[in-house]
Structure 1
Amino acid sequence: MSVDLDRTRPVWRQVAAIVAERIADGTYPAGARVPSVVELSTEFSIAASTVQKVFAHLKAEGLIRTEVGLGSFVADQPPVAEG
């Protein structure tokens, strides 16, 4: 799947919003593994460092948790989306 990103806005914020929406709509259910840095960088045609920024933001928001050597996973109780 190819997603067109608006290159005039911070790309990491756009990707973070897309991943957060996928968590909210159940594409990535609670406890499920989130695609890796390599997978997301390939999907969105962005640098791995940009995906790292996305993951840091999602972790700070409580949407994902990381396990060293295993990857990133949707938080067991992700915050409920408002609106």
Structure 2
Amino acid sequence: MVDLDGPEPMYRQIARVLSDRVKDGRYAANRVMPSESDVCEEFNVSRRTARSAYALLAEQGIVTRVPGKGTYAADLNQT
């Protein structure tokens, strides 16, 4: 859940929601994630905010970004 009135930036809140969805299997490993446009629509935010959320997730290793193809959920169970 995102808190519009809280102190945490929206992109971090959105990244946490998307991360939780990857971790609980709602977004399957190595499968495409919702587009930035879909994230904008779902959370009612700008493209910049959606892009920042995905950039944070990529830094954390939760997603992999493939130019021209999209953003994919990482396989967090890899050993």
Normalising by structure 2, we get a TM-score of: 0.88
Instruction: Provide the identity percentage.
Output: 28
1:6 aligns with 2:6: no
Count of aligned residue pairs for this structure pair = 76
Partner SS for 1:42: helix
Question: Counterparts of 1:68 and 1:16 in 2: how far apart (Å)?
Answer: 20
Question: Counterparts of 2:3 and 2:73 in 1: how far apart (Å)?
Answer: 26
Question: Counterparts of 1:31 and 1:12 in 2: how far apart (Å)?
Answer: 23
Question: Which 4+ runs in 1 deviate beyond 3 A?
Answer: none
**Equivalent runs, 1:22-61 vs 2, <5 Å:** 22-61=21-60
Cα 1:79–1:69 shift into 2, 3 Å: same
Provide the alpha-carbon RMSD of the alignment: 1.6
Unaligned runs of 5+ in 1: none
Partner SS for 2:56: helix
The one-letter amino acid paired with 1:6 is: D
Residue 76 of structure 2 corresponds to 78
The one-letter amino acid paired with 1:73 is: Y
Deviation at 1:66, TM superposition (A): 1.0
Normalising by structure 1, we get a TM-score of: 0.84
